[in-house]
Amino acid sequence: MSILIKNALLNGERSHICIEDNIISEIGNIVEADEVIDARGMIALPGLVNTHTHAAMTLLRGYGDDMPLHEWLQNRIWPAEAKLTGEMVYWGTRLAIIEMIKSGTTAFNDMYFFMEDVARAVNDGGIRALLGYGFIDLFDEEKRENEIKATESFVRYVENMKNSRIRASVAPHAIYTVSKEGLEWSAEFAREKGLRIHIHIAETEKELKDSIKEHGKSPVKYLDSMGFLGSDVIAAHSVWLDDEDMEIYSKRGVWPSHNPSSNMKLAVGKAMPYSSMRKWGIRPTLGTDGAASNNNLDMMEEMKIAALLQKLSGDPTALPAHEAIKMATEWGSLALGFKAGKIEEGYLADIILISTDIPEMVPMHNWESNIVYSANGSAVDTVICDGKILMRNRRIEGEEEVLRKAKEMAERFYS
């Protein structure tokens, strides 16, 4: 199967992009293809990469807002999550994938429960994902043994799916929910199997203070002291870091996932130190976090929110539009370990087309500014992932059924 994208704007110039199976095979020449997309008036961008989310939490969108973090978790989120079933997680994830496609995301990094059902949803939904079973042992040895078995079994499940769009990660939740033994096992197992590690690090000041009290060091230094950190680690939030922590991130090649909406909504107290990270040579990526703490999965919006949050600190040159796009494409793909995130020959064919004939894109003095500061996910017209057209003219096959099932599943929180 081959696709020719004709006359798209690529890096500001009119170009033709040819896809052969799931790979970008040629840029520049018009060639014969099974399917031709006339992309005149559209910007071609690599598919966006959401590096931190809990996809099935779409079912909890708006279920508890405007509450303190602890009360929110204890009174709303955790009791609701206790009611979740595999079927609910499947349809919640299908809903998330529809929402991601409609706002231009072609790959995401997930951590949750019922991960076999998440993997089935990704298989059926058509996009790319790195999936990790949320390992939480609460410092209990028996729980730890169960979590180890659950992690091993999920990794085997993904291996047996033999779907190149889906990869397993090892996902210990955080240092305040996983024992030292659990963290060490996670890192060792991930490295033995060549898998990525997905964890929450330094989200709140409480996490930082508790870590200093219990371990005599920051969360980053605590993790580094056990050899946990490396270029295979994706660290969600990474808000409460000092210069020594950032030096460690830089040395080990850790990938921070910046989650600005979630951080502001849950009032973590300050912004991730983006400019300092860049000085250390760190390449931050971008994520929405789950829909309960955002409340959507729109990465176009998230780019704007990230850029604005950094400027609020007093520097209007912090996080320019060009870099926001890099966070959401190239750096995100590198973090997840997929050869995507660039529209170049030999890269995976994950491409989105953005309309320019809509009010918020007119006029176009600077296409990158328009994308980051003016447009949102509704500007995305066409989405291709792994060489397959998932959305055209904003139409996705099977969307109605997914919305209907997701509504039905969400009713179960009240029964």
List interacting residues with Zn ion (CB under 5 A).
Answer: 289
Closest-approach residue to Zn ion (CB): 289
97: left (phi over 0), alpha (psi -120 to 50) or beta: alpha
First CA to last CA across the chain, in angstroms?
A: 47
Which CB sits closer to Zn ion, 289 or 301?
289
Least distance between Zn ion and beta carbon 387 (Å): 30
Least distance between Zn ion and beta carbon 258 (Å): 12
**CA atoms of 238 and 241, how far apart (whole Å):** 6
Which CB sits closer to Zn ion, 294 or 370?
294
Least distance between Zn ion and beta carbon 87 (Å): 23
- Burial per residue of 312-334, b for 16 or more beta-carbon CB atoms within 10 angstroms, e otherwise: eeeeeebbbbebbbbbbbbbbbb
**CA atoms of 326 and 230, how far apart (whole Å):** 21
Least distance between Zn ion and beta carbon 173 (Å): 9
Which CB sits closer to Zn ion, 43 or 171?
171
Least distance between Zn ion and beta carbon 14 (Å): 40
Least distance between Zn ion and beta carbon 356 (Å): 34
Which of 347, 356, 357 shows the shortest CA–CA distance to 44?
A: 356
**CA atoms of 190 and 125, how far apart (whole Å):** 26
Which CB sits closer to Zn ion, 208 or 361?
208
Residue 371 CB partners (closer than 8 Å, separation 6+)? 43, 45, 300, 303, 321, 325, 354, 379
CB atoms within 10 A of CB 126: 21
Which CB sits closer to Zn ion, 290 or 341?
290
Least distance between Zn ion and beta carbon 192 (Å): 25
- Between the CA of residue 234 and those of 111, 118, 206, what are the distances in Å? 11, 19, 21
User: What would the DSSP string read from start to end of 126-181?
Assistant: --EEEEEEEE--TT-HHHHHHHHHHHHHHHHHHHHH--TTEEEEEEE--TTTS-HH
Which CB sits closer to Zn ion, 103 or 293?
293
Which CB sits closer to Zn ion, 289 or 302?
289
